[in-house]
Amino acid sequence: MNLKLQGGKVYDPINNVYGKRMDVYINDGKIIKKNKIKGKINKIIDCSDKIIMPGAIDMHTHIGGGKVNIARMMLEELHHDHNDSCDSSAIIAPTTIKTGIKYIQMGYTSCFEPALLPINARQAHSEMADIPFVDKGGYALLGNDDFFLDLVKKKASQSLINDYVAFILNASQCIGIKVVNPGGINAFKFNQRALDVDEKSNYYDITPRTIIKILTKAIYDLGIPHPLHVHCSNLGVAGNYLSTIETIKAAESLPIHLTHIQFQSYGNNGDRNFSSAAPEISHYLNKTKNLTCDVGQIMFGQTVTMSGDSMSQHKNHHHAHPDKWMCMDIECDAGCGVVPFRYSDKSFVNGLQWAIGLEVFLLAKDPWKVFLTTDHPNGGPFTSYPHLIKLLMDRSFRNDIFEKLPKSVQEHSILKSLKREFTLKEICIMTRSAPAKILGLKNKGSLGDNCDADITIYDQNKKDIEDFFANPSHVIKDGKIVVKNGKIVNYIWGKTQTVKPEYDAGIEKILGKFFDKYHTMKLDNFKISDDEMTNVIGSEIKVNECIHKRK
Amino acid sequence: MKSDNKRYITCPFCSLHCDDIQVEVNNNKFKIVSENIKDCTSKIEYFNIKKTSNLTAISKYKKINFNTAINAARKMISRSEDITLVNHGTDVNGVRSLLNFAASHNCVVDHVNSKYLYRNLGIIQRKGYMATSLTETRNRSDVVILFGNNILKKSPRLIDKVILPKHSLCTNLKSRKLLLVGDFDAQSVKIAKKNKHHIENFKIDLNDIPEILTKLMSDDKLSKNLEGIRKIIKKSKYLVASWITSDFDKCNDPDYVISSISDFILSMNQTSRAACMPIAGSLADATSSQTMSWITGFPSRVKFNGKSFFHDRSICDSQEIIRNRNTDLAIHISTVNHNKVELNDKIKNIFIGHINSTFNIKPDIFIPVGNPGIDHRGIMFRTDNVVSVLLDKIREIELLSTQDVMNMLSEVDN
Ligand code: SF4
Ligand SMILES: [Zn+2]
């Protein structure tokens, strides 16, 4: 089957194409060059009034695993479906099917769960296998597990730690490694309530800085494309921009990705001891090579926060709205906390958080280094992306909302002075090409020859930016038209994207003994094989290449 | 006997889902080789083929071949106005297939133990909750309190694997304190006193748990006995409270008792660390609630309304529906159950179950399926809801899985 997208305005940043009118050809799930087509064209979509981009990639969205299910159960009232309207409340912890539908209708074709506990991997993958349409993947949590901390305490060699990291990626079928509040989740189990970057944990006597340094090195040595994905220490604490900067330094110039950086860009100036440190953080972001971030923009309204950071979630439970919450210590592996929350546009703190997120976006010089996220659902549901894009592309729209926020917020933010309006080119980079690049997805985020035919076609006649991005006219996944004029026309199932760096099998012996001695399951049961993924869990896997052979 | 017939299995028969059980399999007969797990051995070996095993499909009293049974079931399904699916325990893929079926036939899906699920869930739906898991408890706890009476009998290896194991990473096992609070009988106390470990058995009426916990957290003067317990609790660094919800069935207000335990744990966390670890039922309760949550948004009691799943705790209560005959066909799914299943003879019953299933009355159609973990692979969730295990296949007697059969039945309209 050959499909031709005829005469659309194409955006393909990886190939340096920005708004050029051209045809795109698809065969057998792949994009191909015109001269490679065999046989006749079976179908032509007239794109003369369309804009064509690669399918969008959400590189940080909580869509599967224990904590999402806790939120679903806790907030049962939100699932009672009111005519399936896409109001935000129904989508903050949606079912797997709804997750897939809402993403694909917005033109998103790949989504990555950023807090996959290795011990919970079977659940997370089973859930994600039930999300239709999109490709998915997970970042395995490390850095709070007792096995790792014990290795560090015993001054194990970097090479042994690299084996462990590589083993975890293989066993949990993940594509990256994330660390959440490095060492802090573990310290909370020993009743420590805060852990700064250079503070030692009471039990293991290890600082977050050490953990960051060792893990960034492991990822670099193993050639894993995605840099260490870091949820820093002191999340949400006024004045935390200093620990954020220290975390950046802890990587010692190796690649590092800071997630939901909005929550990490807080100063403690002013009469309320809460201020924006977006300029300071952006300064670092702009000048530091090998540093990327996603923003985690907040949106006003009801949401639910879910995080591996049980230390900070337990601290935050007093702000729960509605007043219910849950925290959990998990299997000497990590933890989690689920706290529903309502961001209010009448609140000084929430208003300023909103402004800080936008400041970070607007101050970032290079769209290849900043990714568009709301840390779904922590800052707000992913369905608010079209609104967020409009905030970035339309200064007067942004200012209208800003002017309605409390005066105190306006006095504490430079937002109004930022005249920048993002272009389609920049949005396309931030939501497609840059995430594909940073995740090492060679066949995605691009319309080049032999790339996966994951494509979003937007309607140029839609003049409102939000409407434009919320309602693409066609979405193509793996070469099949799955959305047409907002309607699902074809159900298909995506793959699980993984990476499988090499490791010395010796680590399995050591870890096997550790499991037999301390765990309540066997190492063999902890590992998820490719066969299990396909035949029991129900998702095909795609193994992505490492950047280089293990160093 | 050759030792190469020995292998580990993952046990599907209680919510601990141990995967360190060694069995020997010969001619499709399995025998537990691991020692000192008498109760579990009988639980697992129960699923061997017996003389009385229902290896073939049955239509009331007559043996019929499998395809005839499927066709008869399909007919019954297409004639039915209102089908109710009752889950007595199956794996993740089994639950997935029940929901698929429900979506094509607009039916109710419920788990028999839903009432217990809602008791524990009630806490996180109303207020705060601090939880922990099996391995955390094993390695971090210094005080464990078991509330109720039957928890140790229902999860035979809780003591061995979790509460008083051989090794613990971060605590000194010798000084770990185990408190029994409730009306534990001599047998339970004996199980708890493993290795002569010192335990405190505090006998009380289960209805008094809330009052006693309040007293323990207060500064009031207490009886000598209670004072001792208060000392232990005050000194604890990581305290775990555990219970099995059905133990509170006879209490005047089971919800209140459970929520008082959770409140006690919450207040402990103001200055120290503590967490709850309730033990789920043995009919793959956690597997059902987890899978249903991600697919439908609700952990149990849903009905497909033609567009999506809706939930109502009373309208979708299968036991009530069946009792009141608000359904004309009940499909029971039962792959790990040891107990007799009660069917209502006033409606039609299709029973999809393991070969040693027993019932009060014969179902209209019985379709034998395999046990996950014995006859086919599958996934189940442990009691802590955070770990799910892979179940393997150890026997080949050509039994299909629940998923296979439900998928066949789903094809009714095509
Ligand atoms: S404790 Fe439960 S799961 Fe473990 S072997 Fe016994 S019955 Fe099976
Ligand atoms: Zn996140």
User: What HEC string does B261-311 produce?
Assistant: HHHHHHHHCCCCEEEECCECCCCCHHHHHHHHHHHHCCCCCEEECCCCEEE
Atom 6 of ligand 1, residue of closest alpha carbon: B40
Q: What is the mean pLDDT of chain B?
A: 95
Distance from the CA of A409 to the center of ligand 2, in angstroms?
25
Atom 3 of ligand 1, residue of closest alpha carbon: B17
Same domain, B302 and B360: yes
Q: Is the pLDDT of residue B5 over 90?
A: no
Question: In which band, very low, low, confident or very high, does the pLDDT at B122 lie, cut at 50, 70 and 90?
Answer: confident
Instruction: State how far the Cα of A14 lies from the Cα of A178, in Å rounded to an integer.
Output: 26
Smallest Cβ–Cβ distance between A72 and the set B129, B294, B381 belongs to B294
Instruction: State how far the Cα of A37 lies from the Cα of A25, in Å rounded to an integer.
Output: 8
Beta bridge partners of B9: B21
How much is the average pLDDT of A378-383? 97
Q: Is the pLDDT of residue A142 over 50?
A: yes
B61 domain-assigned: yes
Q: Which residues of B touch A76 (CB under 8 A)?
A: 125, 297-299, 311
Percent with pLDDT over 70 in chain B? 98
Instruction: State how far the Cα of A162 lies from the Cα of A79, in Å rounded to an integer.
Output: 43
Instruction: State how far the Cα of B336 lies from the Cα of B373, in Å rounded to an integer.
Output: 10
Same domain, B106 and B123: no
Q: pLDDT at position A81, please?
A: 53
Its ipTM equals 0.97
For residue range A91-136, what is the model confidence (pLDDT) as tens digits? 899 999 999 999 999 999 999 999 999 999 999 999 999 999 999 9
Q: pLDDT at position B39, please?
A: 87
Chain A contact for B269 (CB, 8 A cutoff): yes
For residue range A331-375, what is the model confidence (pLDDT) as tens digits? 999 999 999 999 999 999 999 999 999 999 999 999 999 999 999
Residue B60 · residue B352 · CB < 8 Å: no
pTM, 2 dp: 0.97
Tell me which residue has tokens 């002191």: A234
Instruction: State how far the Cα of A114 lies from the Cα of A97, in Å rounded to an integer.
Output: 19
Q: pLDDT at position A67, please?
A: 96
Chain A contact for B389 (CB, 8 A cutoff): yes
How much is the average pLDDT of A278-293? 97
Instruction: State how far the Cα of B331 lies from the Cα of B98, in Å rounded to an integer.
Output: 10
Q: What is the mean pLDDT of chain A?
A: 96
Residue of chain A with shortest Cα separation from B401: A536
Q: Is the CB of B18 under 6 A from ligand 1?
A: yes
Same domain, B133 and B265: yes
Which amino acid does the sequence have at B42? S
Best of B307, B390, B393, B404 to substitute, by most chain A Cβ atoms within 10 angstroms, is B390
Burial of A165 (0-12, 13-18, 19+ CB in 10 A): buried
Residue of chain B with shortest Cα separation from A90: B297
Element (H, E) at A247: helix A241-250
Tell me which residue has tokens 């405190």: B200
How much is the average pLDDT of A408-412? 97
Q: For residue B66, give the CATH number of its domain.
A: 3.40.50.1220
Distance from the CA of A320 to the center of ligand 2, in angstroms?
18
Smallest Cβ–Cβ distance between A518 and the set B129, B138, B295 belongs to B138
Q: pLDDT at position B411, please?
A: 81
Q: What is the per-residue DSSP string for A64-99?
A: SSHHHHHHHHHTGGGGS-STT---GGGGSS--HHHH
B43 domain-assigned: no
Residues in chain A, overall count: 551
User: What are the CA-CA distances from residue B293 to residues A84, A487, B95 (Å)?
Assistant: 17, 25, 11
Q: pLDDT at position A84, please?
A: 45
By 3-state DSSP, what share of chain B in percent is helix, strand and coil, each rounded to 5? 35, 25, 40
Q: pLDDT at position A85, please?
A: 40
Ligand closest to A181 (CA) is 2
Distance of CA A509 to the CA centre of its chain: 33
Q: For residue B171, give the CATH number of its domain.
A: 3.40.228.10
User: Residue A94's CB: how many other CB atoms inside 10 A?
Assistant: 27
Chain A contact for B124 (CB, 8 A cutoff): yes
How much is the average pLDDT of A493-517? 98
Q: pLDDT at position A91, please?
A: 86
Peptide bond into A377 cis (omega under 30): yes
B18 domain-assigned: no
Same domain, B101 and B153: no
Distance of CA B69 to the CA centre of its chain: 29
Burial of A280 (0-12, 13-18, 19+ CB in 10 A): middle
CA end-to-end span of chain B? 50
Residue B244 · residue B279 · CB < 8 Å: yes
Same domain, B108 and B141: no
Q: Is the pLDDT of residue B295 over 90?
A: yes
How much is the average pLDDT of B161-167? 95
How much is the average pLDDT of B251-261? 97
Q: What is the DSSP letter of B341?
A: B
B383 domain-assigned: no
Which amino acid does the sequence have at A268? N
A324·B121 Cβ contact <8 A: no
For residue range A35-91, what is the model confidence (pLDDT) as tens digits? 999 999 999 999 999 999 999 999 999 999 999 999 999 998 876 654 444 444 468
Radius of gyration of chain B (CA): 23
Residue A469, token pair as written in the block: 């991005």
Instruction: State how far the Cα of A94 lies from the Cα of A102, in Å rounded to an integer.
Output: 9
How much is the average pLDDT of B336-355? 97
| 198-237 in chain B: CB under 8 A from chain A | 237
For residue range B266-293, what is the model confidence (pLDDT) as tens digits? 999 999 999 999 999 999 999 999 999 9
Residues in chain B, overall count: 414
B109 vs B193, higher pLDDT? B109
Q: Is the CB of B161 under 6 A from ligand 1?
A: no
Mapping DSSP to helix (H, G, I), strand (E, B) and coil, where does residue A148 land? Answer: helix
Q: What is the per-residue DSSP string for B106-151?
A: T-EEEETTHHHHHHHHHHHHHSEEEE--HHHHHHH-SEEEEEESSH
* Residues contacting residue A45 through CB under 8 Å, at least 6 positions apart: A3, A4, A5, A6, A457, A474, A481
Distance from the CA of A124 to the center of ligand 1, in angstroms?
24
Query: How far does A325 lie from chain B, in Å, by closest CA?
Result: 5
Q: Is the CB of B178 under 6 A from ligand 1?
A: no
Same domain, B126 and B104: no
How much is the average pLDDT of A286-292? 96
How much is the average pLDDT of A374-384? 97
Query: Where does a domain end: B276, B304, B325?
Result: B276
Instruction: State how far the Cα of A280 lies from the Cα of B259, in Å rounded to an integer.
Output: 47
Instruction: State how far the Cα of A480 lies from the Cα of A493, in Å rounded to an integer.
Output: 11
Q: pLDDT at position B196, please?
A: 77
Among the residues of B310-351, which ranges form H helices?
Answer: 318-323
Distance from the CA of A285 to the center of ligand 2, in angstroms?
19
How much is the average pLDDT of B383-387? 96
Instruction: State how far the Cα of B161 lies from the Cα of B155, in Å rounded to an integer.
Output: 10
How much is the average pLDDT of B187-207? 90
B153 domain-assigned: yes
- Structurally, chain B folds into a number of domains equal to 2
Substitution candidate for ligand 1 out of B8, B16, B37, B160 with most atoms within 8 A of CB: B16
Atom of ligand 1 nearest to the CA of B21: 5
For residue range A165-217, what is the model confidence (pLDDT) as tens digits? 999 999 999 999 999 999 999 999 999 999 999 999 999 999 999 999 999 99
Residue A220, token pair as written in the block: 């670099």
Q: Is the pLDDT of residue B198 over 90?
A: no
Same domain, B214 and B309: no
B136·A81 Cβ contact <8 A: no
Distance from the CA of A270 to the center of ligand 2, in angstroms?
28
B135·A332 Cβ contact <8 A: yes
Beta bridge partners of A111: A58, A136
Residue A496 · residue A128 · CB < 8 Å: yes
Instruction: State how far the Cα of A350 lies from the Cα of A328, in Å rounded to an integer.
Output: 26
For residue range B10-27, what is the model confidence (pLDDT) as tens digits? 999 999 999 999 999 999
Q: pLDDT at position B404, please?
A: 98
Same domain, B258 and B133: yes
Atom 2 of ligand 1, residue of closest alpha carbon: B14
B312 domain-assigned: yes
Same domain, B121 and B267: yes
Strands B365-368, B348-353: pairing kind: parallel
User: What are the CA-CA distances from residue B5 to residues B1, B8, B24, B30, B394 (Å)?
Assistant: 8, 10, 5, 10, 10
Residue A483, token pair as written in the block: 């959305």
What is the domain range of residue B336? 57-113+283-375+397-409
* Residues contacting residue A509 through CB under 8 Å, at least 6 positions apart: none
B215 domain-assigned: yes
Which amino acid does the sequence have at A107? G
Same domain, B337 and B231: no
B316 domain-assigned: yes
Same domain, B176 and B107: no
Percent with pLDDT over 70 in chain A? 98
| 366-425 in chain A: CB under 8 A from chain B | none
Q: What is the per-residue DSSP string for B21-88?
A: EEEEEETTEEEE-SSS-HHHHHHHHTTS--TT---SEEETTEEE-HHHHHHHHHHHHHH-SSEEEEES
Q: Is the CB of B10 under 6 A from ligand 1?
A: no
Query: Where does a domain end: B247, B276, B305?
Result: B276
Query: Where does a domain end: B255, B276, B297?
Result: B276
Distance from the CA of B39 to the center of ligand 1, in angstroms?
8
Chain A contact for B310 (CB, 8 A cutoff): yes
A330·B299 Cβ contact <8 A: no
